[in-house]
Structure 1
Amino acid sequence: MTKAFASQGDMSDKTISFTEVGEGLYAFTAEGDPNSGVIIGDDSVMVVEAQATPRLAQKVIDCIRTVTDKPISHVVLTHYHAVRVLGASAFGAGQILMSEAARNMVVERGQEDWDSEFQRFPRLFQGHESIPGLTWPTTVFNGRMSVWLGQRRVDLLQLGRAHTAGDIVIHVPDANVMFTGDIVEYHSACYCGDGHFRDWGGTLDRIKAYGVDAIAPGRGDALVGRDMVDAAIENTRDFVTSTFRPVERIAARGGSLKQAWEAVRAECDPKFKDYAIYEHCLPFNVARAYDEARGIAHPRIWTAARDLEMWAALQG
Structure 2
Amino acid sequence: MPPANGAWAWLAPGNSWGWSNAGLISDGEESLLVDTLYDLELTDEMLAKMRDAEPLANNIDTLVNTHANGDHCHGNELVCGAEIIASSASAAEMAELPPEAMAAIVAMAPDMGEMGRYFLDCFGQFKFEGITFTPPTKTFEGELHLQVGDKPVELIEVGPAHTRGDILVHSPKDRVVYTGDILFIEGTPIIWEGPVNNWTEACRRIEAMDVDHIVPGHGPITDKHGVAAVRQYLEFVHEQARQRYDAGMSAFDAAKDIELAEYSAWSDPERIAVNVDSLYREFRGEQAASDVFELFARMAALAGYDVATP
State the TM-score, normalizing by the size of structure 2.
0.83
Tell me the distance in 1 between the aligned counterparts of 2:105 and 2:226: 26
> CA 1:310 to 1:69, structure 2 compared with 1: closer, same or farther past 3 Å?
closer
Q: Is the 1:81–1:114 Cα contact (8 Å) retained in structure 2? A: no
| Residue 169 of structure 1: how far off its partner (Å) | 0.4
Q: Residue 231 of structure 1 aligns to which amino acid in structure 2?
A: H
Residue 109 of structure 2 is aligned to residue 110 of structure 1? no
| Number of the residue aligned with 1:11 | none
| Residue 193 of structure 1: how far off its partner (Å) | 2.4
| Residue 199 of structure 1: how far off its partner (Å) | 2.1
Unaligned runs of 5+ in 1: 1-18, 224-228
Q: Residue 132 of structure 2 aligns to which amino acid in structure 1?
A: P
Q: Is the 2:100–2:131 Cα contact (8 Å) retained in structure 1? A: no
Tell me the distance in 1 between the aligned counterparts of 2:285 and 2:246: 11
| Residue 306 of structure 1: how far off its partner (Å) | 6.0
| Residue 112 of structure 1: how far off its partner (Å) | 9.5
| Number of the residue aligned with 1:48 | 34
| Residue 117 of structure 1: how far off its partner (Å) | 8.1
Residue 247 of structure 2 is aligned to residue 247 of structure 1? no
| Number of the residue aligned with 1:86 | 74
> CA 1:90 to 1:278, structure 2 compared with 1: closer, same or farther past 3 Å?
farther
Q: Is the 1:45–1:74 Cα contact (8 Å) retained in structure 2? A: yes
Tell me the distance in 2 between the aligned counterparts of 1:51 and 1:195: 23
Q: How big is each residue's C-alpha offset from its partner over 1:113-154, in whole Å with a ceiling of 9 and x where there is no partner?
A: 9539856332452x3212113x31000011111222222221
> CA 1:173 to 1:20, structure 2 compared with 1: closer, same or farther past 3 Å?
same
| Number of the residue aligned with 1:13 | none
Q: Is the 2:158–2:199 Cα contact (8 Å) retained in structure 1? A: no
| Number of the residue aligned with 1:15 | none
State the TM-score, normalizing by the size of structure 1.
0.81
More strand by share: 1
Equivalent position to 1:36, from 13, 22, 26 = 22
> CA 1:273 to 1:75, structure 2 compared with 1: closer, same or farther past 3 Å?
same
Q: Percent identity?
A: 23
Q: Which moved more, 1:173-182 or 1:110-119?
A: 110-119
Tell me the distance in 1 between the aligned counterparts of 2:290 and 2:34: 25
| Number of the residue aligned with 2:198 | 199
Tell me the distance in 1 between the aligned counterparts of 2:170 and 2:228: 19
Q: Residue 122 of structure 1 aligns to which amino acid in structure 2?
A: F
- Counterparts of 1:199-238 in structure 2, within 5 Å, are 199-223=198-222, 229-238=223-232
Tell me the distance in 1 between the aligned counterparts of 2:124 and 2:24: 23
| Residue 173 of structure 1: how far off its partner (Å) | 1.5
Matched length:
285
| Number of the residue aligned with 2:178 | 179
SS in 1 for 2:129: helix
Tell me the distance in 1 between the aligned counterparts of 2:267 and 2:295: 24
| Number of the residue aligned with 1:285 | 275
Q: How big is each residue's C-alpha offset from its partner over 1:32-57, in whole Å with a ceiling of 9 and x where there is no partner?
A: 12111111222132111111111111
> CA 1:69 to 1:84, structure 2 compared with 1: closer, same or farther past 3 Å?
same
> CA 1:310 to 1:278, structure 2 compared with 1: closer, same or farther past 3 Å?
closer
| Residue 100 of structure 1: how far off its partner (Å) | 0.9
Q: Residue 63 of structure 1 aligns to which amino acid in structure 2?
A: K
Q: Is the 1:83–1:117 Cα contact (8 Å) retained in structure 2? A: no
SS in 1 for 2:174: coil
> CA 1:213 to 1:182, structure 2 compared with 1: closer, same or farther past 3 Å?
same
